[in-house]
Amino acid sequence: MSFDLRRLVPPSVPESEIGEELDADVVVVGAGISGLMAAYGAAERGARVRVVERHTRYNLRGAQLNPGPGARLFEEAGIEVDYEEAVREELELAGYRPDPRLWRLWLENSRAAVDRLLEVAARHGVRPYLLAWRTNPEDPYGKYPRPTYKFNPEAPEGMFDRLGPALEDELRRMGVEFHYRTRALRLVRYDGRISGVIAVREGEDGGSHVRFRARRGVVLCTGDYSSNVELMRLWAPPEAARMAEDPYGVIYRLITPTNTGDGHLMALWEGADVDESPHVPLYTLAPEGRNPGRARELYWRPDGPSKTLGLHSNPFLFVNEEGARFTNEALPYSWLVNRVVQQPNFRYWVVFDSRWEEDVARHGDGLGRRLSPNVVENYREVGRRFLETAMEDGAAVKADTLEELASGMGVPRDRFLGTVRRYNELVARGVDEDFGKPSAYLSPIRDPPFYAVRGRAVILVMLSGLKVDTRLRVLDRSGNPIPGLYAAGNASGGFFALYYSMHTLPGISHGRAVTFGYLAGRNAAEGA
């Protein structure tokens, strides 16, 4: 099904339907982390700021923040990160398709932007914690995640939304006005310059239209478009577009389904340009049982069973729905996810036997094959809880024979048995002749009971957007800035290409959002 180009026609809002007009120096559309930092950057420069957000409140999500060069916690821990090397690696992995000038902008300004954020957080009792990955020293890839920041000591990978209340409270004290449950519909252009936004207040009795006048500029921080299936068909890689057709294929659509590309479309209607397709998806792996809509609740809550040990991503034997092995299961996480995405229906099974506890102690868990303190201390308990939850949810099967296991998995029995037989032969030889998995991760499947955990690839977010220059001004199709229009976060582009590398600079998506949001707001306030 093709994209309906008629959807690119901006909505018509007659003057007679605009019931209210509100003035501001800077209007920020979106209250995610980039939008809140844009509001902060503008208010810090003395601008009167209004934030327009479609959701019922601020809309932060995610886990980690990469602070960039000069991070205080890194220095205190004696950790050195060669960011020049890391950025080169990012650009190389993306074939140098991203704009190196934007990466340089992040390198040179991340310290100041993150310091502002941490000052606000500290005043509200929220502090950063160092997430320094403890990795398996025997892993041959050397693709361990570099350190990053998190904001919840109880959750090993963060919980970024703790910053929401702190930032909102600080911004209100600075005079920033918030307009929640208000959806921006189109930009206002006057005398060639973007000078405001027309929006609709969404209420139980319908909506009322309001025009927000922006004397200095509008900053689009509306997030990505992964909840808009038609835009996914237009811009995303074909496999991501197919994934978005599934009601459970976009994980954040289940939590906050308001990321429908509103900022992208509003800018397009004013002649803006976007990154060349296919755009960049960020995938992750999730257990899949009878209740895929409850995956976050069942497995990823702060006290959930996969908060440190998710047996759906450990480097045991992976087979697809046809019972065939398809990858080196010990690949760095981002690469492993890419292999899963290529499988039928984006699904797979992880197969292991009763000796899984011994194997996990040897090869670690998850992203970068880390050995986190919790895994080292009580991984057996956490793994058992994971299996219990997964079996109750229908995401795991347990059997006394491989034949029974194949039946429970619903895969072709003969092919599956042949796959396991071949895998055990390779384990016995100590050399993976089929996919090259290092011998440290080769574990036989021979001692009952046998287990299989079902997983699938899902989309977290799309990371491409409007073309911007180094002042975060949105560019038109001739490469010229559109006066008065700025973009940051996942509404902006030029920073990623091909795929998102989780192991190179964890938290860089949030790092970009914090830094570029802050800079965009400041530039809008100054008319830069």
Query: 299 versus 399: which is more confidently predicted?
Result: 399
Provide the strand spans (E) within 137-205: 148-150, 177-179, 182-190, 193-203
Highest mean pLDDT among 87-96, 170-179, 252-261, 311-320: 170-179
Residue 139: its pLDDT value, please? 66
Helix (H) and strand (E) counts for the chain? 15, 15
Please determine, for residue 4, whether its predicted confidence score (pLDDT) is greater than 70.
Answer: no
Predicted confidence band of residue 303 (pLDDT cuts 50, 70, 90): low
Please determine, for residue 351, whether its predicted confidence score (pLDDT) is greater than 70.
Answer: yes
Asked whether the beta carbons of 228 and 258 are under 8 A apart, the reply is: no
Lowest mean pLDDT among 4-13, 145-154, 365-374: 365-374
User: Before 10, cis peptide (omega within 30)?
Assistant: no
Dist. CA 219–CA 43, nearest whole Å: 13
- Residues 462-475: tens digit of each pLDDT: 999 999 999 999 99
Residue 97: its pLDDT value, please? 95
Please report which helix (H) or strand (E) contains residue 43, including its range: helix 33-44
Please determine, for residue 178, whether its predicted confidence score (pLDDT) is greater than 90.
Answer: yes
Overall pTM surpassing 0.75 (yes/no): yes
The whole-chain average pLDDT of the chain stands at 90
Residue 340: its pLDDT value, please? 97
Q: Is 181 left (phi over 0), alpha (psi -120 to 50) or beta?
A: left
The encoded tokens of residue 314 equal: 């450990």
Dist. CA 149–CA 89, nearest whole Å: 20
Residue 1: its pLDDT value, please? 34
Give the CB-side neighbour count of residue 336, counting CA atoms within 13 A.
Answer: 31
Asked whether the beta carbons of 515 and 109 are under 8 A apart, the reply is: yes
Please determine, for residue 211, whether its predicted confidence score (pLDDT) is greater than 60.
Answer: yes
Radius of gyration of the chain (CA): 24
Q: φ, ψ for residue 86 (rounded to 5)?
A: -65, -40
Region 485-497: mean pLDDT is 97
Burial of 296 (0-12, 13-18, 19+ CB in 10 A): middle
Q: What percent of the chain has pLDDT over 90?
A: 70
Specify the DSSP class assigned to residue 323. Answer: S
Strands 473-475 and 481-487: antiparallel
Q: Scan for tokens 């010229």, then name that residue.
A: 480
Residue 457: its pLDDT value, please? 95
Please determine, for residue 428, whether its predicted confidence score (pLDDT) is greater than 90.
Answer: yes
Please determine, for residue 151, whether its predicted confidence score (pLDDT) is greater than 90.
Answer: no
Lowest mean pLDDT among 10-14, 257-261, 495-499: 10-14
User: Before 69, cis peptide (omega within 30)?
Assistant: no
Burial readout 118-145 (b: 16 or more C-beta within 10 A, e: otherwise): bebbeeeebebebbebebbeebeeebbb
Please determine, for residue 497, whether its predicted confidence score (pLDDT) is greater than 50.
Answer: yes
- Residues 435-457: tens digit of each pLDDT: 999 888 899 999 999 999 999 99
- Residues 260-285: tens digit of each pLDDT: 999 999 999 999 999 999 999 999 99
- Residues 362-417: tens digit of each pLDDT: 777 656 555 544 455 667 887 888 899 899 999 999 999 999 999 999 999 999 99
CA distances from 493 to 98, 226, 488 (A): 9, 15, 8
